[in-house]
Structure 1
Amino acid sequence: MLEQTFIDVTVEDAIKKGLDIMNVSESQVKIEVLNAGRKGIFGIGKQNAEVKLIVIDPEVKREKTIIPIIEQSSDKNIDETPKVTTPEKNIEIKSNRKQQSLELVKEYVLQVIDAMGYEASIEIIYKNKDEVFMNISSAEASRIIGRRGQVLNSLQVLAQNYFNHLEKGFTIITLDIENYREKRRETLENLALNMSKKAIATGESVKFEPMPNYERKIMHQILAKIESIETYSEGREPHRYLVIRSR
């Protein structure tokens, strides 16, 4: 098995260097991130990224420089050169690449939390092919959650944006810690029901404070069952808020 280790400023730079030196494409290697690196603060604690590239099929590399000689034939019924890559292999490579990207996102989030001064670990949970949970464990859970989930929500935005930078496919990343998301859902549903009663009783619109899109969606869904009110959102992100109005 052919394998080499490469070091550079970022993981992406180290991978690019390795591919160039080994003269292979990304689809021909398995990538292991040995060290995601860190920027440090004012240069202190800075570390370069380190990756290991393992050639999946060494024969591919050995045969890469061989130029095949194909004799021309007048028989038009002769089949064309068979394709090398099978659909099954494509699926496997795509899955491996996605897992590698998620590992990079995981390390990125841990670096941010570390820069905040907290220790944490993350478990990646594949809910389905289009949705991934990253469950955080830390003794400083309340600080990582922040006021009404603001810190956790910010970390989630960073994670999603970084993954979107690495991958073109559609995948939703949700960060959670100590089952906060489910507890928050229950809080939002109870709040929505209580405020709907207020809107019906007073006949006046009730406006909530700004909240993320997925939290507004939770409230829209629970209130959609009540026929005597209507809900809609106003404002622009990130200050968009929910309004309940009696019909």
Structure 2
Amino acid sequence: MKEIIQEGKTVEDALDKALEKLSTTKDKVEVEVLDEGNKGFLGLLGSKDAKIKVIKKDDKHKKALKFMTKIIDKMNLGIDVEKIESETNHEQVVINLTGPNLGIVIGRRGKTLDALQYLTNLAVNKHHDDDHLRVIVDAEGYRERRKGTLQDLALRLASKAKAKGKKVVLEPMPPHERRIIHSTLQEDPKVRTHSEGQDPYRKVIIVAQ
């Protein structure tokens, strides 16, 4: 059990009950107050219990940070590692790298960063249980910049395909980058996209309609 809705006479009372049910402590949960409740007149008439949502923090988040920190420290590049928690998606965590020499950990077109991300996900989810945590490894906003570059590339090559009436074959890309190409062009009725080949050589094909 990782998340429960709990009621109590007060928020504190509800939290105590939730912690007991989750077999954990206050520092290991996130609490959202859904209703602060109402004591009512003289503590009797019109009283209403407090209601909270309690989410148990996953140790996998800490494991992801520890694993990446260990790798980066061994590289001795003076790079800092920080964990960015999502307030809305508890099944995902971003490990952000900051500092000098980021080009080394990013690699050509993000290949080294992708490899670090793959290894971290493998280490964190190696037991293949139901609580899968998606780990995204970023480097000072590189992922967003790369996404913009791929979107521009998709639009440019789609225009080329339409102008020449021929298909355009992109270079091999990892799955998440191919998805960016597909999603960028999915609303364009004048082209269609599909992928061919086997990873890691799978490519996106843009075809004029």
- Normalised by the length of structure 2, the TM-score is 0.70
Alignment of 1:210-229 (within 5 A): 210-229=172-191
Q: Is the 8 A contact 1:118 1:140 kept in 2?
A: yes
Q: 1:162 aligns with which of 113, 123, 129?
A: 123
Report deviation, 1:122.
1.5
Matched, 1:136 2:97: yes
Report deviation, 1:121.
1.9
Report deviation, 1:199.
0.6
Separation in structure 2 between the aligned mates of residue 187 and residue 87 of structure 1, nearest angstrom? 48
Q: Is the 8 A contact 2:22 2:56 kept in 1?
A: no
Q: Is the 8 A contact 2:60 2:133 kept in 1?
A: no
Q: Which digits, 9 at most, give the CA deviation of each residue in 1:77-108, with x for residues without a partner?
A: xxxxxxxx954447959834x2x332222222
Q: 1:145 aligns with which of 93, 103, 106?
A: 106
Q: Which digits, 9 at most, give the CA deviation of each residue in 1:200-241, with x for residues without a partner?
A: 111111111111111111111110010011001111112211
Q: 1:102 aligns with which of 61, 74, 87?
A: 61
Q: Which digits, 9 at most, give the CA deviation of each residue in 1:98-128, with x for residues without a partner?
A: 2x33222222222222333422222111221
Q: Secondary structure at the match of 1:123?
A: strand
What is the one-letter code of the residue matched to 2:64?
A: V
What is the one-letter code of the residue matched to 1:126?
A: E
Q: Specify the alignment match of 1:230 in structure 2.
A: 192
Q: Secondary structure at the match of 1:204?
A: coil
Percent identity among equivalent residues?
A: 31
Matched, 1:126 2:85: yes
Q: Secondary structure at the match of 1:165?
A: coil
Q: Is the 8 A contact 2:92 2:133 kept in 1?
A: yes
Q: Is the 8 A contact 1:101 1:166 kept in 2?
A: no
What is the one-letter code of the residue matched to 1:152?
A: L
Structure (1 or 2) with the larger CA radius of gyration: 1
Structure-2 change in CA distance of 1:112 and 1:214 (3 Å): same
Q: Specify the alignment match of 1:67 in structure 2.
A: none
Q: CA RMSD in A?
A: 2.3
Separation in structure 2 between the aligned mates of residue 166 and residue 108 of structure 1, nearest angstrom? 16
Separation in structure 1 between the aligned mates of residue 200 and residue 179 of structure 2, nearest angstrom? 15
Alignment of 1:74-85 (within 5 A): none
Matched, 1:182 2:140: no
Q: Bigger CA drift: 145-154 or 165-174?
A: 165-174
Q: Specify the alignment match of 2:35 in structure 1.
A: none
Q: Which digits, 9 at most, give the CA deviation of each residue in 1:44-81, with x for residues without a partner?
A: xxxxxxxxxxxxxxxxxxxxxxxxxxxxxxxxxxxxxx
Aligned length: 161
Q: Specify the alignment match of 2:166 in structure 1.
A: 204
| Structure 1 unmatched ranges of 5 or more | 1-84
Structure-2 change in CA distance of 1:104 and 1:170 (3 Å): closer
Separation in structure 2 between the aligned mates of residue 87 and residue 200 of structure 1, nearest angstrom? 61
| Structure 2 unmatched ranges of 5 or more | 1-18, 30-53
Q: Specify the alignment match of 2:153 in structure 1.
A: 191
Q: Is the 8 A contact 1:122 1:136 kept in 2?
A: yes
Q: Is the 8 A contact 2:196 2:204 kept in 1?
A: yes
